[in-house]
Structure 1
Amino acid sequence: MRRRHLIQFAVATLAAASVGVHAQAFPAKPIKLVIAFPAGGPTDITMRQLADNAGKILGQPVIVENKPGAGGTLPAQLLQTSPADGYTLAQIPLGVFRLPYTTRISWDPVKDINYVLNVTGYAFGIVVPADSPLTTWTHFVAWAKANPGKLTYGSTGTLTSPHLTTELIAQKLGLQLLHVPYKGSSELAQAITGGHLMAAADSTGFAPLVQAGKLRVLNTWGEKRLEKFPDAPTLKELGLDIVQNSPFGIGAPKGTPPAVVKRLHDAFKKAMEEPSYVQALARYDMVPMYMSSAGYTKFAQETFAREKALVEKLGLAKPN
């Protein structure tokens, strides 16, 4: 009996030592960071700057791979089949927490992702072409009420925060809008500037087009007005008790060694504090929004429950 206990103790000690050595040697090769939206949009631009900063801190490149589609949930799904060694990371947009309520999946967004840290959140709003007759939110609402189901708006994908928040706005105001999903901000921008849509709900990736005089902002969705668009009212100012900033961060596969998660957390936290990242975010009225591994895990648990209520309220939950 004592011999068996000694053997078990020796095996456990070797395993712990192996994890410790692995963590000390990590990373020994480039790390892949998969993001949920296409190249050229605000997520891609800001995450590439963050990845570049983190790579310098870690001593190995952090290579960004774009995997758009499915409402921004493909990177999180990729984690379910990736080795738990810290070399595959994924952006986790809010849409990940809605997945089990809208489609059938075999994994749990809270339990089956190792939450490393939260890095930022989006600033959102609704825009129209600069030459649109819908010059204010009042005009937008009036036209939509007079023409049920005919006002077309685009978003960065079905069940993304821009889509669900716009549907919530429409529900509160008694509007019927026609939703057209796209794979990301760059594709959506081409559609609205090309005259294919009457409006777009998006993160402030639309900022350069507004500044170029091609789009007009009708409202923004934060707690207060954006410095870049001081004339655009918030939803709260328009009488809608809605604030949406959609925090997102970085996740690793379930079972990634704690020491590796800590190494990644510390490197990306330091990378967030670099002026180059802060400046990249500022282009889109975004700011660093840090949550620790424990804080981000708690946020995931709370958001998972909150998103269920939203999906059910909008009647978008999958049938049992």
Structure 2
Amino acid sequence: MTDAFSSLTRRQWLATSGAVALATSPWLARAQADWPTKPLRLVVPFAPGGSSEIVARAVAGEMAKTMGQNVFVDNKPGAAGNIAMQEVANSTDGHTLILGHIGTMAVNPYIFAKVPYEMKDFIPITLVSKVPSLYVVHPDLPVKNLTEFVAYAKARPGQLNYGSAGNGSAGHLAFEYLKMATGIFVVHVPYRGTGPMLTDLLSGRLQAAAVGAPALLQFIKAGKLRCIATGSAQRLPQLPDVPTVAEQGFKGFEMTQWYGLLVPAKWPKAHVAKIEAEAIRATRSAAVKDKLAQDTALAVGNTGAEFDAFIKAEQARWKPVIARAQIKPDGV
């Protein structure tokens, strides 16, 4: 009697719950379709004027066309990106995402004793772009290529300065990687963003830098900076006369920085799925591909799972480089 009653009760419960699910599923579908309910905020953890802003604006503009809401870029520099990462990790509005970067995702965990966020605080959405680093000098420096720069620097150890967007930034990594490969000693001068650093490089207060291609092409073409090498595996179509680092005697050398979208881990799965689909569509669109290609950046647009695996591989790659170069955060 008890078993029959229990079985009946289970059947009644299952029938009732099924009816409820069927009744509410249209509401759930509408809720997902209605999201986002306000403009999406894409936080860029660096100052305006660098490759990160160019990449962010390209994908944000395309996503806004089909998301039903504007996607606006909000630059939030400071503490090598930690401030912005912490803010987005703790955000609760369900409409804030962030542009992840080689620095914030693969470097900061190894240069800071403690970062105010963890990888588990975020869900990777898509790798938006890979950007080759360009090695440039002020045109007053009497060198025309990397070979001449290495010889010039070796004859003047510690007398030349190079700038970056800050300790642990992509530019810092790129130049330290070059120093390790070539055996030169050039002094690092960290800034609070690519924009301020470029101001001093263009004025001649700095002699060299490694920066993502999108932020530099206009100055190279105008003769305000001289590109002595590219960090790409092959020569860039936009700079066909500039050889790669590998071509100039350092076999296997390659340096690219990268940018991808992430959202707080607390986002509903339905919203994560929607933003992933929209971000992939936008990144793979002809408009974004063409826009980024104009600035020598490569559009990717992989899945969240693929982006997650990529981040882990980059962390494994850069951890020993950071230890060897003894890279420390600003103020340490």
Same fold (TM over 0.5): yes
Q: Partners of 2:212 and 2:82 in 1: how far apart?
A: 17
Bigger drift between 99-108 and 218-227 goes to 99-108
Distance 1:265 1:284, change over 3 A: same
Q: Counterpart of 2:102? A: 94
Q: Deviations over 1:24-63 (max 9, x none)?
A: 3211111100113333433323321321211120110111
Q: Deviations over 1:173-192 (max 9, x none)?
A: 22211111223333222111
Q: Counterpart of 2:205? A: 196
Q: Counterpart of 2:275? A: 264
SS of the aligned residue for 1:166 comes to helix
Query: Which of 49, 60, 65 is the equivalent residue of 2:74?
Result: 65
Indicate conservation of the 8 Å contact 1:92/1:251, yes or no.
yes
Indicate conservation of the 8 Å contact 2:220/2:226, yes or no.
yes
SS of the aligned residue for 1:105 comes to coil
Q: Counterpart of 1:226? A: 236
Query: Which of 70, 82, 86 is the equivalent residue of 1:77?
Result: 86
Indicate conservation of the 8 Å contact 2:55/2:129, yes or no.
no
SS of the aligned residue for 1:122 comes to strand
Q: Counterpart of 2:318? A: 307
**Structure 1 position 72, deviation (Å):** 3.8
Query: Which of 212, 215, 220 is the equivalent residue of 1:210?
Result: 220
Gaps of 5+ in 1: none
**Structure 1 position 168, deviation (Å):** 2.1
Distance 1:21 1:306, change over 3 A: farther
Q: Partners of 2:270 and 2:107 in 1: how far apart?
A: 30
Indicate conservation of the 8 Å contact 2:154/2:185, yes or no.
yes
Q: Counterpart of 1:290? A: 301
Query: Which of 42, 61, 85 is the equivalent residue of 1:33?
Result: 42
Indicate conservation of the 8 Å contact 2:281/2:301, yes or no.
no
* Equivalent position amino acid for 1:33 in 2: L
Residue 277 of structure 1 pairs with residue 277 of structure 2 = no
* Equivalent position amino acid for 2:97 in 1: L
**Structure 1 position 293, deviation (Å):** 0.9
Q: Counterpart of 2:3? A: none
Q: Partners of 2:74 and 2:309 in 1: how far apart?
A: 27
Indicate conservation of the 8 Å contact 1:36/1:66, yes or no.
yes
* Paired residue total: 313
Structure with a larger share of its residues in helix: 2
TM-score, normalized by length of structure 2?
A: 0.85
* Equivalent position amino acid for 1:154 in 2: G
Q: Partners of 2:84 and 2:305 in 1: how far apart?
A: 21
**Structure 1 position 84, deviation (Å):** 6.9
Q: Which has the larger radius of gyration?
A: 2
Q: Partners of 1:211 and 1:73 in 2: how far apart?
A: 34
Q: How big is the alpha-carbon RMSD for the aligned residues of Structure 1 and Structure 2? A: 2.7
* Equivalent position amino acid for 2:298 in 1: V
Query: Which of 179, 182, 185 is the equivalent residue of 2:194?
Result: 185
Distance 1:13 1:83, change over 3 A: farther
Q: Deviations over 1:197-218 (max 9, x none)?
A: 0111111111101111111100
Residue 147 of structure 1 pairs with residue 156 of structure 2 = yes
SS of the aligned residue for 2:282 comes to helix
Query: Which of 156, 171, 178 is the equivalent residue of 1:162?
Result: 171
* Equivalent position amino acid for 1:34 in 2: V
SS of the aligned residue for 2:172 comes to helix
**Structure 1 position 290, deviation (Å):** 1.8
Indicate conservation of the 8 Å contact 2:80/2:108, yes or no.
no
Q: Partners of 1:264 and 1:308 in 2: how far apart?
A: 30
Indicate conservation of the 8 Å contact 1:45/1:280, yes or no.
no
Distance 1:69 1:233, change over 3 A: farther
Q: Partners of 1:58 and 1:159 in 2: how far apart?
A: 34
**Structure 1 position 120, deviation (Å):** 0.6
Q: Partners of 1:152 and 1:107 in 2: how far apart?
A: 32
TM-score, normalized by length of structure 1?
A: 0.88
Q: Partners of 1:148 and 1:64 in 2: how far apart?
A: 41
